[in-house]
Amino acid sequence: MTIKGVITDWGGVLTSPLNDAVGVWLEADRIDLVRYGSVMRAWVKQAYSGEGLNPVHGLEDGSLEPAEFERLLAAELRTVDGGPVAAAGLIRRMFGAFDPVEPMYEALRAARAAGTRTALLSNSWGNDYPRDLFAGLFDAVVISGEVGMRKPDERIFRHAVELIGLAPEECVFIDDIEHNITAAEAFGLQGIHHTDPAATIGTLRDLGLLR
């Protein structure tokens, strides 16, 4: 079937890598890396395993306020010298080093100019999105915390494709998290596991979405 739509994640796809941004924050706040890694691995694993609600799940689907997530995470962390971590503004600091990846934006602009429908589908961590960059770029913007659903829930994929008026089989989905790609493909989307801009743009070109 001809591909007519591109649905893309934001963090780690249209931005510099998540791990890079988090690394800048960890160093700046002098956070104990071992403790942070242990806490986040457990929270993320639970959030994606279907074992029930936890802070990551709640933050992403909007049922947990960002300030409460910051409080819960800060309470689990320590600085390298055993001190407390400031909760206020933690999310802003965590993602402060995100930079836009212009080649990805250019590719989406080119695809949309050629008639491809586009949508953003992002699991929000309470971050501020650069919505000025989204103007004229997307036919639909789906932010998990605003719609009460999160990837990898099938419902949010269905919501996104319905907003752009296409069938799942007519869309590709770009994400840097493999678990989300697997869920999208189970729903019927064609997945592109994003590892670097050049590879993703090459795949879009192979699909005939770019010249």
Per-residue pLDDT of the chain (211 residues; tens, 9 = 90+): 799 999 999 999 999 999 999 999 999 999 999 999 999 999 999 998 876 678 999 999 999 999 999 999 999 999 999 999 999 999 999 999 999 999 999 999 999 999 999 999 999 999 899 999 998 999 999 999 999 999 999 999 999 999 999 999 999 999 999 999 999 999 999 999 999 999 999 999 999 999 8
Secondary structure letter of residue 129 according to DSSP: P
Element (H, E) at 65: none
**Residue range(s) defining the domain that contains residue 158:** 5-16+99-206
pTM assigned to the model: 0.95
What is the CATH classification number for the domain harbouring 179? 3.40.50.1000
Residue 66: name the closest of 145, 130, 129 by CA.
Answer: 145
- Residue recorded with tokens 């890598």: 17
Query: Helix or strand or coil: residue 139?
Result: coil
- Domain membership flag for residue 180: yes
Residue 33, domain member (yes or no):
yes
Same domain, 11 and 25: no
Q: Are residues 198 and 130 in the same domain?
A: yes
pLDDT of residue 52: 65
Could you tell me if residue 211 is inside a domain?
no
From residue 86, give the alpha-carbon distance in Å to each of 21, 107, 113, 119, 211.
18, 39, 45, 35, 48
The number of distinct structural domains making up the chain is 2
- Among 94, 121, 138, where does a domain finish? 94
Kindly state whether residues 75 and 110 are assigned to the same domain.
no
Within this chain, do residues 22 and 57 fall inside the same structural domain, yes or no?
yes
- Judged on CB neighbours under 10 Å (0-12, 13-18, 19+), 174 is buried
pLDDT of amino acid 120: 98
